[in-house]
A = this chain, B = another copy of it.
Amino acid sequence: MIEIYRKRVFCADLQIGQEVSEVFCVARVQRRAGRNGYFLTLEFVDRSGRIPGVAWDEVDRLTEVLVEGAYARVGGRVTDFRGEPQIQVLNAAPAPPTVEPSDYLPSGPAPPERSMAGIHRLAESIADAGLRSLVRAFLGDPDFARRFAAAPAAKVHHHAYVGGLVEHTLSVMELCEQVARHYADLDRDLLLAGAFCHDLGKIRELAVEPGFPYTEEGQLAGHIVLGYQMVLDRAREIGLSPERMLDLGHLVLSHQGELEWGSPVEPRTLEALVLHFLDNLDSKIAAARPFLDEVDHGRTAYVRSLGRALFRRGAGGAKAEGEERSAPPRAG
């Protein structure tokens, strides 16, 4: 029986001065000309993050093993590169036949299966036969379902882990369901189907590989157009009416809300407005949460995707700091 190899040393743990012999995924290899022949600049990656590398000797032999996207056992020493640790590679060997993917990819707080179950449940609640067939066609395609459950919802800012896409999709579907109950004139079925479809293109935009790199079509077409295309192909398959397809496609195309955020059209229907706002809300909440979790009370680190630091009021913090600095309701 083939044993699965589990890592013990991760990128984020490496410190200058340390000897290293561990399996990493090779994210980048560049052969560059120095004064005394070629050398390699490298990047290694695992679920904890990234570390740069360099190799000065035996470049030809090393490049047989250090191939972009491959796994390799890397031996060497952690040295100082502009104040940050890097691996100075002394030798490299092919990785053991089976590595554990989860050692190289971050995972989220909840298992994707739970999110998938919630999505199935809400999909079945769609009353419109055409739209329900469409969503079922996706979910019933095992290849799609596997990729859907594995994908992250974004490369960096929110839900950037395996299972992130289904977690985000379910959350937006649930919000849409609630809001459809609040505004009686919304087309609940269209909104739910749109929430299901809105980020499908992410499974083709980002590769589920260490570092979640952009695919070629992710760079050249983008998840909005790719997702629209996926929906259109399924719609033709199941014979969805042109009007339904058009309205659903509009939800996918306009969900970023503004042209400068990458949507080629702005929301022009009530359902498109609602989907945009709820997708935005869920993304922002998810982007904010890890920063808030880092502090007990007070100011967080700067949240790049929001353009500001946030504030968390902790249970105890209110008392400790309140008197001194914040007694606002009295004049200066």
Contacts and interface: CB of A to CB of B under 8 A. Distances in A.
A284 B236 CA distance: 33
Contacts of A138: 332
A200 interface: yes
A225 B222 CA distance: 12
Size class of the A contact interface (CB-based, 8 Å): 35 or more
A195 interface: no
Interface in A260-279: 260-266, 268-270, 273-274, 277-278
A179 to B, nearest CB: 7
Contact of A225 (B13, B203, B245, B253): B253
Contacts of A84: 82-83
Contact of A83 (B80, B178, B229): B80
Interface in A137-184: 138, 144, 147, 171, 174-175, 178-179, 181-183
A12 B225 CA distance: 42
Given A182-B178, A263-B264, A311 B147 contact: no
Contacts of A216: 246, 298, 311, 321-322, 325-326
A310 interface: yes
Tell me how many chains of this kind the complex includes. 6
Contacts of A277: 277, 280-281, 284
Nearest to A319: B243
Nearest to A16: B80
A309 interface: yes
Interface string A232-272: 11111100011101110110010000011111111011100
Interface string A24-35: 000000000001
A326 B308 CA distance: 35
A209 B267 CA distance: 26
Nearest to A292: B270
A236 B27 CA distance: 33
Nearest to A226: B328
Given A263-B264, A322-B242, A328 B221 contact: yes
A15 B250 CA distance: 42
For A83, A310, A326, A332, the residue with the greatest tally of chain B CB atoms inside 10 Å of its CB is A332
B274 A217 contact: no
A191 interface: no
30 contacts: A82-B84, A144-B332, A183-B285, A204-B328, A216-B298, A216-B322, A217-B326, A217-B328, A220-B250, A220-B253, A222-B264, A222-B265, A229-B331, A233-B330, A234-B331, A236-B329, A241-B322, A242-B326, A245-B328, A245-B329, A246-B326, A246-B328, A260-B260, A264-B264, A268-B308, A268-B311, A269-B311, A270-B292, A274-B281, A274-B285
